[in-house]
Amino acid sequence: MIPKHVEFILSAEAKHMKIEKSNITMTEFILLGFSDVPRLKWILFGILFFIYLTILMCNSIIILVTRTDPALQTPMYFFLSNFSFVEICYVTVTMPKMLVDLCSQKGNISLLNCALQMWFFLLFASSECLLLTVMAYDRYVAICKPLLYALMMNHRVCVQLVAVCWVTVIPIVTGQTYQIFSLPFCGSNKINHFFCDIPPILRLACGDTFVNNLAIFLASAVFTMVPFLLITVSYGKIIFSILKLSSTGGRSKAFSTCSSHLIVVVLFYGTCAITYIQPNTNTSDRIGKVLSLFYTVLIPLWNPIIYTLRNKEISAALRKLPQKLLQLQNFL
């Protein structure tokens, strides 16, 4: 039987060690990713690698045809080419690291690299939200104010709108990332995710995260709720204008030009909203990981497919692309 004074000393030392441990800030994290299914790692690697190459190829082709085909030199396709470029950057932030971790089954990432990954992910995701809003505004002007379209959406205005989408997000994303990684991280350094996303990172912080959660809510309102409301208002006016058209062919053409963008908006905002309003539980970690696969992998895969299959102009440009490449090769 341990004497009481010895038990007291041991208890005090244990508490002291616990306090010291809690004051140690992490310098490295471990992304758990899909380590809970090691037998499926090569199958997952093959599927994700194929998806990544498909996203890169499809979006690169969209950029190529929208920049080279004379019939696609319009504001709508200018915004679409920029959207495809953002999609390429967006998936490249997470997928190469995810593929490497699947092979190595380690998932180690330094604090700095984790912060950089979060910064770039938030930058491209926020820019994508704003670009979707700009694309909705372009469709609104084209359908509701066709006589003023050439004046309101000239090339200079289009460039300025795209620049605003990039410049606006940089200070907010930088401030948010700095605020999150200024918190002390102690205890477990295992992130139950496949990239450095905000919710799983905040769960590892041992400081007060109230201000961070408030900042996340405000940033989400600025970059998701406000753009979504603007898109909803734009499409409300578009649908109202389309219904007033007397020609059935005119209605069909107007709906076809808007439907692709509307599908992308619903898929992207739907999965993002579900992910960030989940309760803070272990179950939601697993659900959040699956939902994150949707808006980081599957939706970027569907986007170029949706735009190409449902767009007659791009389909026609794609059919002419091999002939143009052959002519270019013969010329060189």
Place of tokens 């062919």: 249
Integer Cα distance of 197 and 203 in angstroms: 11
Q: DSSP per residue over 48-116, as a string?
A: HHHHHHHHHHHHHHHHHHHHH-GGG-SHHHHHHHHHHHHHHHHHHHHHHHHHHHHHHS--EEEHHHHHH
Per the CB < 8 A criterion, the answer to whether 202 and 213 are in contact is yes
The 3-state secondary structure of 125-167 reads HHHHHHHHHHHHHHHHHHHHCHHHHHHHCCHHHHHHHHHHHHH
Q: What is the pLDDT of residue 274?
A: 65
Q: What is the pLDDT of residue 273?
A: 66
The dihedral sign for the CA sequence 268, 270, 271, 272: positive
The DSSP H or E segment spanning 29 is: strand 28-31
Q: DSSP per residue over 219-276, as a string?
A: HHIIIIIHHHHHHHHHHHHHHHHHHT-S-HHHHHHHHHHHHHHHHHHHHHHHHHHHHH
Query: Other C-beta atoms within 10 Å of 220: how many?
Result: 18
pTM: 0.84
Fold classification of 27-318 is Rhopdopsin 7-helix transmembrane proteins (1.20.1070)
Look up residue 209 and give its two tokens.
């995260």
Per-position b or e across 201-213, b if 16+ CB within 10 A of its CB: bbebbeeebeebe
pLDDT tens for residues 240-291? Answer: 888 877 666 666 766 766 777 777 787 777 766 666 555 555 545 667 677 7
Q: What is the pLDDT of residue 115?
A: 95
Query: Other C-beta atoms within 10 Å of 85: how many?
Result: 18
CA dihedral 93, 99, 100, 103 (to 10 degrees): 170
Per the CB < 8 A criterion, the answer to whether 139 and 145 are in contact is no
Place of tokens 């753009």: 227
All structural domains of the chain with their residue ranges: 27-318
Q: What is the pLDDT of residue 283?
A: 46
In this prediction, the residues of the chain whose per-residue pLDDT falls under 70 are 1-26, 246-251, 253-254, 256-257, 271-286, 288, 309-310, 325, 327-332
Please calculate the CA angle 114-116-119 and round it to the nearest 5 degrees: 110
Between the two ends of the chain, the Cα-to-Cα distance in Å is 91
Q: SS3 for 30?
A: strand
Q: SS3 for 216?
A: helix
The DSSP H or E segment spanning 190 is: strand 190-191
Per the CB < 8 A criterion, the answer to whether 30 and 191 are in contact is yes
Distance of CA 82 to the CA centre of its chain: 14
Please calculate the CA angle 219-59-329 and round it to the nearest 5 degrees: 150
Per-position b or e across 163-193, b if 16+ CB within 10 A of its CB: eebbeebeebbeebbeebbebebbeeeebbb
Q: What is the pLDDT of residue 156?
A: 95
